[in-house]
A and B are shown apart, each in its own frame.
Chain A
Amino acid sequence: DVVLTQTPVSSLVTLGQPASISCRSSQSLVHSDGNTYLSWLQQRPGQPPRLLIYEISRRFSGVPDRFSGSGAGTDFTLIISRVEPEDVGTYYCMQGTQLCSFGQGTKLEIK
């Protein structure tokens, strides 16, 4: 089974400052088709999860460009370039290369 480990577990960020979340996989997420199925999801309080980024760095429809993803193989990063109030919530990485699994989540709060 693929285990995803996110760091930090929680993050306190000043409005307008950047935030970074790391996701490390227990094995390579490169699929046999050559793609890497690593996504990032946002879950605001009381809401269902929402897809932000897929295939490492592709922004989903309607996602602001302050969200970006990077990485390869087993190490991935979500960056929010300038945190805004509506970014409060929990962020999950998710892999779809070998069935499906989620990181444990990173809670983002505003200072």
Chain B
Amino acid sequence: QVQLVESGGDLVKPGGSLRLSCAASGFTFSIYYMTWVRQAPGKGLEWLGHISGTDNFVFYADAVKGRFTISRDNAKNSLFLQMNNLRVEDTAVYYCARWNVGPLDFWGQGTPVTVSS
């Protein structure tokens, strides 16, 4: 069965960096686009970006372009989100999800990131 497990969430100071990981299993990871979505406390869902399966095309939301970098390692069935210059407003639960030509059909449980001094 499809499983996505995020890790790496932590408490970090403003201006700091963090790298999130998403371990995938139960499907052929390399053929799917993958996505990061976040949810601030008590708020809705915010798309952060997609990465293609094998040719590393990456699309970012304007809110994180230039600060966040999405990457993947298909040999290790892993997705990553490198977050730099973090702000208080980046505090959220971060989810990885599988993009299946339109819908996000499987989601991880999420990893919490808190940015606070």
Contact = CB atoms under 8 A, between A and B. Distances in A.
A97 B46 CA distance: 16
Contacts of A99: 47, 50, 59, 61
Contacts, number: 66
Interface residues of A, number: 26
B109 A48 contact: yes
Contacts of A102: 44-47
B102 interface: yes
Contacts of B103: 37, 39, 51, 54-55, 60, 94, 96
A67 interface: no
Nearest to A58: B103
B112 interface: no
Interface SS of chain B: helix, strand, loop or mixed?
strand
Given A48-B110, A49-B45, A37 B105 contact: no
B104 interface: yes
A99 B63 CA distance: 14
A7 interface: no
Shortest beta-carbon contacts, A-B, top 10? A37-B102, A54-B103, A96-B102, A100-B47, A39-B103, A102-B45, A48-B107, A105-B44, A51-B105, A104-B44
